[in-house]
Every structure is written in structure tokens, then in C-alpha cells.
Chains A and B, each alone.
Chain A
Amino acid sequence: MKMSDYNFAYLDEQTKRMIRRAILKGLAIPGYQVPFASREMPMPYGWGTGGVQVSAAVMVPEDTLKVIDQGADDTTNAVSIRRFFEKTAGVAVTEHTDQANVIQTRHRIPEQDLTEGQILVYQVPIPEPLRFLEPSEVETRKMHSLEEYGLMHVKLYEDIAQHGAIATAYAYPVRVEGRYVMDPSPIPKFDNPKLTMAGIQLFGAGREQRIYALPPYTDVVSLDFEDFPFEASKADHACGLCGAIDSYLDELIVDDQGARMFMCSDTDYCAGRQEETAA
């Protein structure tokens, strides 16, 4: 099938307008989850349908797209979404963070800092940070409207009471501009400090039908306590491939003897460092 057989970026124009209006309200109310009429996409829920719809609504033909899944450009989810937009939008694709205008991500923020003009689109499974504490949408909406976030601090406190430290390691809740508590999607808490950045961040949850956003330089604070301050933790190793000590690491079992190796989760960052060393 040729690209011209699809409407540009797959979605019909009225759907894109609806998503675009939700994105504008999301940017105007940072951290607030805007409901939107999520569409069926040609991939299952849980494979980034929210992110794909947001990417489709913001993409222009001149864009260069990068897609990562847990930091990697070469995993199934990333490859299939990249091909989807190559086919339906005819955009250029890249694996290099600095060459991309639009980066769709599942559960990581690239190691390399984003610059103004870059757009980071997150795939979000559960957008509501209070959902596991309060199952009712009516109640969580009321809690957000009243800034009633005590329950979240109780949860973090119970972490400390049980484990001696805040054990939440991913999807670590943040407070945006001193107002809305937001789920940053299941990124490792190592990435939380990077949520205040120069790029535009858009979050799409397809199954849950929510879009939210962070404009550049928005004040994003990870929730914590004075005596238990937030810590952006990572495995205490260097990358086994490039030697980086400042990047987020995946742990991989490499043989049947239980030997382990730690390596950068951001494949582009790791490859770039290895090339530099080789040159």
C-alpha cells in the first residue's frame, strides 16, 4: 500500500481536530488529564495507541520520528510504530535523539537532553496517579479538583514504614506547578528530574482515553518528605558496553550460569558513546 492510500498520519481530520483541542487544553492546564474520544487503532491497547494518536495529531510531513521502547529503538513495539508512521505519514525516521523532532517513547526519557522544538510523546497505561488508591473515577476527579492528595503521601509513607525507604521505583508521582499530581507514565524514577526540560511533553493514554501535557520548563517536583527526600536511583554499576556511569541501566542475564551484565537502556546513547571511544 502506498502512503497516499491513507489520510495523512492515518487518522481522519475530525479525529485529529478533537485530539488537537485536547492537547491545547492539556498544555494550558499542565498535569491535568483531559478526556478525549480515543479511537480504535490498528494495534492492540497496551501497544501505545494513546501515544500513536497523539503523535498522529502533532506530526507534520517534514518531521523526523524516533520511537523508543524502554530506551531501545530496535524492539518490536518501537519498530512497528516507526513503520506505521513511515507508511501512513511518509515521515523520515531516525534512531538518533538529536535528529528527531518527534520522539514517541514507552517508559523512558532519552539520556540526551531534549532541545526546544522537540516533542516527546509518552505512551501511558494508567494516567491516573490515584487509581490504585481510589478505584472510582468520580472520586479521583473530586480529589484532583480539591487538591486532596493526602492519600498519595500516605502511600509513600507506608513504603517507608514497610521498607525503610520510598520503594516506588517507577511511575513515581510528581506535582506539576504546585497544583496537579501527575503520573509521569512508568518511567524509572531516575528519569523524573528530566521532566523539567526544554521540549514539549505530551502524554497519551488510549485505553483510558486521557491526554495530558507539560509545556517546556514546567516546574515538576517528585513527591517526597523532608526527612526522606526524593532520590533518582539507578543500578550501582557502569554500563558493560560503553562504560557510562551516568545513564539508566538494564540488567541482563547473559548465560545459563547466571552471569549478569548491566547496559544502558538508551541504545542510541550507548551506541554513540561506543562510536566515540572507537574513533
Chain B
Amino acid sequence: MQVSVLEGGFADAPVQSARAFREIMTAMAQPGRINTVDGAHAPGISVASSVALLTLCDPDTPLYLAPSLDTADLRNWIAFHTAAPLVTPDKASFALGAWSELLGQDFPIGIPEYPDRSATLIVEMPALSATGATLRGPGIKDMARLSLPDADAMRDNTRLFPLGMDFILTCGSQLAAMPRTTRID
């Protein structure tokens, strides 16, 4: 196994994953908020996506990798650092990829009795900024703005509430989140 696969994890997992989770949680609690994370880098993906994988994924969380990210290096890195099983979209609790590759896939959206059994999509973005679509809903005082990959598809997802997917948007070392509750004007 190549050395690069063994590197790029947290040096001090308990503390670094605690700090990383605080950033992910405050992003999910306040849609539109952009947080910065560090401490992990997997081959071929952003620091923020790597941190999200390390913080949230383990053998209990089936993961879907978009085709262009599905390299031997990344597969090995995920296997070594998280041991998350790689699966097809319909069985995934997490997914990682660019928007164009995740769009239209058949991810779990939960069931009426258990809406939490839905996928969380980690979306690699070319840029992330507090501009663009207007967001309202839980976690947002009046309104917020966020550069969404696809406002129409996210609006459709919001209409599924309380079912639906949740999104973690990543770019470099930055991340933001879009839960299913956020209304897009």
C-alpha cells in the first residue's frame, strides 16, 4: 500500500474530530454560514470533504463515491481511515462527489416514520460564497445567501420535508450545509 494512503488523517482524532464536528454542526444549524476546517486531506478531494468523511463516516455508514472520484487511492484512503463500505446510491447514508454526478441519483430520502434514514450528500463545489440564492427557515434569523449548486433541485428536495436529503457543501477548507428545511426564494 502506498504511503499517501496512510497519510492525511487526523493526528489527534478525538480533539480534531470534536473541533471539526463543531464546525459541521454550526453549519448545519445555521444554513448559509461558511465554516473553515483543517487537519485531513484525502487523495483527490478537498480538505473539507476529507474532514467530513473522517468526522462522520465509519463502518456503520455506507458511502457512495461519484464515478470521477472513484479511484484506487481514494478507495484505499477511505478503507484505511474510516472503513466505510462503498455502496450504490440507493444504499448510501453518505455520498461524495460533484453536483453534476450526484444529481438525479436515487439516494434514500427517509421514510415517513423515520425521516432521519436519509442520505447526507457531501458536494464538492468549485466555489463557495455567501452570494446567490436567498435562504430562509430554521437556523436563519432573517435571510441568508449561499452559492448553491442547483437551486431548483434543492427546492424540490425542500418540498419533500420532512423527508429529503441534507447537503454538506465543500470547497477547499471551507464548508457550508443545506438541511432539507431551508426554503429557497
Residues on A facing B (Cβ under 8 Å)? 7-9, 13-14, 16-18, 20-30, 32, 34-35, 57-61, 116-117, 141-142, 144-146, 177, 179-180, 198, 200, 213-219
CB of A200 within 8 A of CB of B25, answer yes
A-B complex: 5 closest residue pairs judged by Cβ atoms:
A215-B139, A28-B179, A145-B112, A8-B14, A25-B116
Query: In the complex, what residues of A have CB within 8 A of residue B50's CB?
Result: none
Min CB gap B163→A, angstroms:
9
Q: Are B138 and A9 neighbours in the complex by a CB distance under 8 Å?
A: no
Cα–Cα distance between A154 and B91 once the two chains are bound (Å): 41
Chain A residues whose CB sits within 8 angstroms of the CB of B18 once the complex forms: 8-9, 16, 58-61
Check if A13 sits within 8 Å of B17, measured CB to CB. Answer: yes
Q: Is the CB of A9 within 8 A of B55?
A: no
Are A24 and B25 in contact, CB atoms less than 8 angstroms apart? yes
- B58 / chain A contacts, CB cutoff of 8 Å: 14, 17
Establish whether residues B19 and A60, one from each chain, have CB atoms under 8 Å apart when the complex forms.
yes
Asked if B162 and A180 make an inter-chain contact with CB atoms under 8 angstroms apart, the answer reads yes
B130-185 contacts to A (CB < 8 Å): 137-141, 161-162, 166, 179-181
In angstroms, Cα B19 to Cα A57, docked, is 10
Contact: A13 with B14, CB < 8 Å? yes
The size bracket of the interface on B is 35 or more
Q: Decide: B56 and A177 in contact? CB cutoff 8 A.
A: no
In the complex, 19 of the A-B residue pairs with CB atoms within 8 angstroms, ordered by the A residue number, are: A8-B14, A8-B15, A16-B17, A17-B56, A17-B58, A20-B21, A24-B120, A27-B139, A32-B115, A117-B26, A141-B113, A200-B26, A215-B28, A215-B29, A215-B181, A216-B139, A217-B139, A217-B140, A217-B141
Do B141 and A216 have beta carbons less than 8 Å apart? yes
Tell me the minimal C-beta distance from A93 to chain B in angstroms.
Answer: 17
Inter-chain contacts of B161 with A (CB < 8 A): 29, 179
Q: Which residues of B contact A30 (CB under 8 A)?
A: 138, 181
Assembled-state Cα–Cα distance A239/B162 (Å): 43
Instruction: Please give, as numbers and ranges, the residues of chain A lying within 8 Å of B29 by CB-CB distance.
Output: 27, 200, 213, 215-216
CA distance A26 to B138 in the complex (A): 12
User: Which residues does chain B contribute within 8 Å of A219, judged by CB atoms?
Assistant: 138
Q: For the complex, is B40 an interface residue (Cβ under 8 Å from A)?
A: no
User: Does any Cβ of A come within 8 Å of B61's Cβ?
Assistant: yes
Chain B residues with CB below 8 A from A34, complex form: 116
Q: Are A58 and B138 in contact (CB under 8 A)?
A: no
Residue in contact with B138 in the complex, picked from A16, A21, A24, A215, CB distance below 8 Å? A215
Residue pair B113, A145 in contact (C-beta under 8 Å): yes
Q: Which residues of B contact A60 (CB under 8 A)?
A: 15, 18-19, 22
Residues of A within 8 A of B17 (CB): 13, 16-17
CA distance A82 to B116 in the complex (A): 31
Bound complex: CA A260 to CA B180 (Å): 51
| Contact partners of B26 in chain A: CB under 8 A | 117, 200
Judge whether A7 and B14 touch: CB under 8 Å.
yes
Quick check: B180 and A28 within 8 Å, CB to CB?
yes
B123 at the interface (CB under 8 A from A): no
Q: How distant is the Cα of A26 from the Cα of B116 in the complex, in angstroms?
A: 8
